[in-house]
Amino acid sequence: MQNVISLKTICLLFFFVTAFSFAKEEGHHEEGKDLKTEIKEYIDHHLLDSHDFSLFSYTNDAGEHKYVGFPLPVILFDNGLKVFSSSKLHHGESVAEVGGEYYKLYHGKIYKTDAEGTISYDEHHHATNVKPLDFSITKNVFTVFLVGLLMFFVFGRMAKTYKNGQMTKGIGRFLEPIIIYVRDEIAIPNIGKKHYKRYMSYLLTIFFFIWIINLLGLTPLGVNVTNNIAVTFALALITYLITTFSGNKNYWKHIFWMPGVPVPMKIILAPIELLGTFIKPFSLLIRLYANITAGHIVLMSIIGLMFIFKNWVGSTLSFGLAFVLSLLELLVAALQAYIFTMLSALYFGSAVEEHHDH
Amino acid sequence: MEKLISEFSVGLFFWQLLLFVGLVFLLKKFAWKPILDAVEKRETGIKDALFAADNARKEMENLKADNERILNEARAEREAMLKDARDMKTKMINDAKDEAQAQATKIIEQAQAAIESEKKAAMEELKNQVAGLSIEIAEKVVRKELSSNDNQLQLVESMLGEATLN
């Protein structure tokens, strides 16, 4: 029954993804701009983080840009803490004045400007204004917080259902096999029965976090968290730190003084192995970031093609392609969560591996 | 690469790290630990129950095998006892027969010996009596016969004739 419901939900979701995408593209049309450039800009904008949570925007009859959504708090460290609502920035259309300083939003970043909001550029058309230290609750931070809250609520409730009896109820019936899968197929084979328990919390959290947030990126809410390198970097950094701090004598010996090879080889291998400890988590962050970014770019480009073709054959084909690709992205969302968890477990496993004779 | 670094948002990184680490610890306390403990408890319970059932089954089988064995043993014992008894019976009968035979033979032999000796003694007595009688008769006959010479001669002659015949 659960499966049938979730399948229906997914189908409905995709209907909305494609339907809303239509609305988005149409609403954003501007005079004097090439359609292709506009689509490209829209995709670029979509991939970026933003300081407000806007679901979509449109231009009304009076030629005004209207945004549907809500503002988020901006937190800046610039001569002391400055907190204000992102509604003051007006999506980069005007200058915000806070405590005698002037800030302007330009391409998703906050720059310090003068009272007129002048932005100077270098030869590559990059802004050269000072960027204050920005700790704003952006759309992505907000989403991460929301996902955290959701996970806490769902899994916390699931944990409570166990207290009444030995079996879980409701959504736990669906989640429990996944939790057991993470334990039996990811954690135990890679880390070993002796040590896996210490890492279960991290592995389960990261698996469900990446999965849910990837799925959320496929919804029409237009949130994309895992295609932001700062997010994947943070996740990979935690994996790296856990690996490094749980490394035993055997692990470090294999890095600095590889057993079973001649001495000159040991000396050559040591820096390579040491570099390898950084490359491994680095590959994690690049993989997740690149997969999700690529998926979004391709999906949105194909949706954009519908508006470029503007005929029944081409647009229908694009629609079909976008639909199939959405299904593929759904798989990628789970797959990337699995790979990240799997490889993290593999690295933990190598860090705690007991010595054995070669 | 340059674009990636320039787009790197320290704020987002900071919040992500903070929120995620917080989430890990919160979930560990309120979700993962109770869930995993409950699952493990259930799994151990199931394993124990299966193990106990298996043990009971094995015990049952053992018991059955024991019963079978005891029954077989008893049957064999009965068989052996019966055979022993039968053997003993045959042996006793045979023994008794042999004994009786021996006894009978002995008695017969003794009887025969006694008969023989009795017979001998009787013969002896008979002989003695016959000899005495003969002498008596002979005496009387001789006395009468020897009243004349002729008679004496005649007698001797007849007796001699008889003796040769004998």
List, for residues B16-43, the tens digit of each pLDDT value. 999 999 999 999 999 999 899 888 888 8
Residue, of A119 and B107, whose pLDDT is higher: B107
State whether A343 and A216 are in the same domain.
yes
> Which residue range(s) make up the domain with A265?
141-352
pLDDT digits (tens, 9 = 90+) for A262-276: 888 888 888 898 999
Q: Could you tell me whether strands A52-59 and A65-71 are parallel, antiparallel, or unpaired per DSSP bridges?
A: antiparallel
- Asked whether the CA dihedral B131, B134, B140, B145 is positive or negative, the reply is negative
State whether A194 and A159 are in the same domain.
yes
Q: Could you tell me whether strands A65-71 and A109-113 are parallel, antiparallel, or unpaired per DSSP bridges?
A: unpaired
Nearest to A281 by CA among A247, A224, A232, A248: A232
Instruction: List Cβ neighbours of A321 (8 Å cut-off, separation of 6 or more).
Output: A302
State whether A86 and A124 are in the same domain.
yes
Position A188 scores a pLDDT of: 93
Q: Is B32 on the interface with A (CB under 8 A)?
A: yes
A358 domain-assigned: no
Question: For residue B138, is pLDDT > 90?
Answer: no
Q: Is B12 on the interface with A (CB under 8 A)?
A: yes
Q: Could you tell me whether strands A81-85 and A96-98 are parallel, antiparallel, or unpaired per DSSP bridges?
A: unpaired
Give the type of residue at A205: T
Nearest to A339 by CA among A205, A155, A231, A211: A211
Position A356 scores a pLDDT of: 67
A58 domain-assigned: no
Classify A171 as helix, strand or coil. coil
State whether A129 and A153 are in the same domain.
no
Q: Cα–Cα distance between A265 and A272 in angstroms, integer? A: 11
Q: List, as ranges, residues 136-165 from B with C-beta within 8 Å of A.
A: none
Mutual angle of helices A263-309 and A249-256, in 10-degree steps: 90
Residue listed under structure tokens 């903070």:
B18
Cβ atoms of A132 and A103 closer than 8 Å: yes
State whether A224 and A266 are in the same domain.
yes
Indicate the DSSP class of residue A185: I
User: What percentage of chain B carries pLDDT values higher than 70?
Assistant: 95
Q: HSE of A121 in the Cβ direction (CA atoms, 13 Å)?
A: 6
Q: Is A146 on the interface with B (CB under 8 A)?
A: no
State whether A196 and A318 are in the same domain.
yes
Residues of chain B positioned with their CB less than 8 A from the CB of A160 = 34
**A&B contacts, CB < 8 Å:** 127
Written as six digits, the tokens of A32 are 């004097």
State whether A98 and A199 are in the same domain.
no
Indicate the DSSP class of residue A103: E
* Ranges in chain A, pLDDT < 50: 1, 17, 19-31
Rg (CA), chain A: 24
State whether A292 and A205 are in the same domain.
yes
Mutate to test the interface with B, among A151, A160, A162, A200 (most CBs of B within 10 A): A162
Residues of chain B positioned with their CB less than 8 A from the CB of A209 = 20, 23
Give the type of residue at B87: D
Position A10 scores a pLDDT of: 53
State whether A127 and A274 are in the same domain.
no
User: What percentage of chain B carries pLDDT values higher than 90?
Assistant: 55
Looking at A109, A136, A163, the residue that finishes a domain is: A136
Cα B24 off chain centre by = 81
Least confident of A212-216, A318-322, B3-7, B121-125: B3-7
Position A353 scores a pLDDT of: 84
Position B130 scores a pLDDT of: 85
User: What is the total count of domains within chain A?
Assistant: 2
Q: Cα–Cα distance between A323 and A299 in angstroms, integer? A: 9
Position A15 scores a pLDDT of: 52
The reply to whether residue A159 touches residue B26, judged by beta carbons under 8 angstroms, is no
State whether A338 and A239 are in the same domain.
yes
Cβ atoms of B20 and A234 closer than 8 Å: yes
Nearest to B36 by CA among A82, A213, A178: A178
Q: Cα–Cα distance between A144 and A139 in angstroms, integer? A: 9
Letter string b/e over residues B102-125, b meaning 16 or more CB atoms within 10 A of that residue's CB: eeeeeeeeeeeeeeeeeeeeeeee
Q: Is B30 on the interface with A (CB under 8 A)?
A: yes
Cβ atoms of A202 and A238 closer than 8 Å: yes
Out of A134, A155, A201, the one facing B11 most closely (by C-beta) is: A134
Looking at A113, A136, A159, the residue that finishes a domain is: A136
A132 domain-assigned: yes
Looking at A119, A136, A153, the residue that finishes a domain is: A136
A292 domain-assigned: yes
Mutual angle of helices A196-217 and A172-181, in 10-degree steps: 120
Position A87 scores a pLDDT of: 79
Question: For residue B67, is pLDDT > 90?
Answer: yes
State whether A187 and A309 are in the same domain.
yes
Q: Cα–Cα distance between A306 and B55 in angstroms, integer? A: 68
The reply to whether residue A159 touches residue B11, judged by beta carbons under 8 angstroms, is no
State whether A261 and A176 are in the same domain.
yes
A157 domain-assigned: yes
Domain extent listing, chain B: 12-165
